[in-house]
Amino acid sequence: MANSAQARKRARQTVKQREHNFSLRSKLRTAIKSIRKSIESGDKSVARVTFDKSIRIVDSIADKGIIHKNKAARDKSRLSAAIKAMT
């Protein structure tokens, strides 16, 4: 347990920030799942629109440091390749 006032405040801030990061990470996972679901549906135009909309979320979360920029780039690349591979 924190012994000084500064440490107690820091502990409170950490809890609040962790909860905020958790919600952002959940939003990221939902965005990626929505792209995958639209790819599985088979409609390329819908998948493209969903991809364009959801990529903004991925980029903003990477900019905030919730995930690494390389992970964001890797996810975007794989999802884009999956859309391009659709017939």
CATH number at residue 65: 1.20.58.110
Q: SS3 of 29, please?
A: helix
Q: What is the pTM of this model?
A: 0.82
Q: To which residue do tokens 């364009």 refer?
A: 52
**pLDDT tens for residues 38-66?**
999 999 999 999 999 999 999 999 999 99
- Determine the structural domain holding residue 35 and report its residue range: 5-84
Query: How many domains are there within the chain?
Result: 1
Structure tokens at 70: 């390389």
**pLDDT tens for residues 13-45?**
999 999 999 999 999 999 999 999 999 999 999
How far is Cα 31 from Cα 20, in angstroms, rounded to an integer?
17
Structure tokens at 47: 């998948």
